Copies of this chain bind each other. A is one copy, B any other.
Amino acid sequence: LLSRRKNEAPNSPFPDDPTSRGSLWAGIKDDAEAALLEYVGTTMFLLLAYGGVQAAATEAGVSTTNSVVERSVTVALAFGISLLVTVWLFYRVTGGLFNPDVSLALLIAGVIGPVRFVFYCIAQLVGGITAAAIVYALTPGPLASNTFPGPGVNKAQAVFIEMFITSALVLAVLMLAVEKHNSTPFAPIGIGLTVFVCHLWAVIFSGCGMNTARSFGPAVVTGFPYDTQWIYWLGPFLGSLLGSAFYKAMRMYATSAYPC
């Protein structure tokens, strides 16, 4: 179980091991270049995803036969499949995290260093704002992609839903992309489908952030119309810790007698 093979260059998403550098700042030029590309990737991921949300909202305004079920499935497809393809594209370039909560998990796992972590978080948050602004500029009507708790869902429930779905995403990244095995090159498929199925559950209940950059971008562009933005910072943060802790626990079993 869980042997991380280093230096597997051609297909490793993280061939540059920051922990082996002479100093924290030795790779800063690489970190900055990677963050720039991560910014483009996050923008592309969220542009296609917010675009799908905007389309579903516009279509629901056009006719009276659209249902809430089919809108949720469409939003789930927009986020899940957009992440699937954009992670696939950027996987061997920047890792394709597109999410500060995933960045945190990779910092905890020792895959990226603290400098790259900070650069990536900034790139991802600015990418979310950029994508929301582009969708707002290119489509009629108000921006439809803000996240907020659904009717009958209290704030604690929304935080815990966000925590659970983010931990699922973090675990998918750690088990499918960071761990090396035969299907590692196909991790983007598993990661994208994880986000898809989490949306099926959470869109109607918590709004389904599971990514602080995804919730922050539309909130900035629309002037923070909801006072529940903190939910999408706290819940995914806790989910990142939960996923990372479970991953560490599994690796401990692995280094002990458990033979898988």
Contact = CB atoms under 8 A, between A and B. Distances in A.
A209 interface: no
Contacts of A198: 48
A190 B96 CA distance: 15
Instruction: Kindly report how many copies of this chain are found in the complex they form together.
Output: 4
Interface string A86-102: 00111011100000000
Nearest to A85: B194
A195 B63 CA distance: 25
Contact of A70 (B55, B70, B139, B151): B70
B259 A172 contact: no
Interface in A113-136: 134
Interface residues of A, number: 96
Contacts of A183: 88, 185-186
Nearest to A62: B68
A138 B235 CA distance: 13
Residue of A16, A47, A137, A151 ringed by the most chain B CB atoms within 10 A: A47
19 contacts: A15-B260, A37-B250, A37-B253, A55-B200, A58-B150, A58-B205, A59-B72, A66-B70, A67-B69, A67-B70, A69-B71, A73-B77, A77-B196, A78-B201, A88-B172, A89-B172, A90-B175, A93-B260, A181-B185
Residue of A151, A176, A204 ringed by the most chain B CB atoms within 10 A: A204
A92 B176 CA distance: 11
Contact of A16 (B40, B55, B93, B259): B259
6 closest A-B pairs by beta carbon, nearest first, are A51-B201, A140-B152, A182-B185, A52-B200, A59-B68, A66-B67
B33 A253 contact: yes
A186 to B, nearest CB: 6
Given A30-B258, A89-B171, A68 B78 contact: no
